[in-house]
Amino acid sequence: MATKADLRNRAMQEIRKLGVGAPASPEDAVDVDIRLDNINELLVVKNIATWGDDVTLMGKEAQEPFVILLAARIGPMFGLGRTDQEDIDKRAIGALRELRELSSMARSGEPVQAVYY
């Protein structure tokens, strides 16, 4: 399971604001973690985050799309260039679609209540 720091660092590496293996500065870590929590909260509310409030419970298959969403959110914070931001935004759309698919697959075995009028 990935830690919050793992997800944060991977997102920062995705937008080339952190070298591989390098830790985020304490200030950057706080700012990115706030956005990480906000994204996760949104996914929980939309019933997409099958892992719930604790990102450390996120399955391996959901980590990469989550990192892409986070990278798109933090890009402007780090002054990501327009072309690079547009690229990561397009990738984020696909990442959200992937997370929705994972969520529906995880819930496909749950009972469904039908209401007839």
Q: What is the pLDDT averaged over residues 47-72?
A: 94
| Cα–Cα distance, 66 to 43 (Å, whole number) | 10
Alpha-carbon distance 88 to 61, whole Å? 19
pLDDT of residue 112: 52
If pLDDT is split at 50, 70 and 90, which confidence band does 1 have? confident
Look at residue 57 in the predicted model and tell me its pLDDT: 94
Rounded to whole angstroms, the Cα distance separating 74 from 70 reads 6
Global pTM value: 0.87
| pLDDT tens column, 63-107 | 999 999 999 999 999 999 999 999 999 999 999 999 999 888 766
Per-residue pLDDT for 42 more than 80? yes
Environment class of residue 53 by beta-carbon count within 10 Å: exposed (0-12), middle (13-18) or buried (19+)? exposed
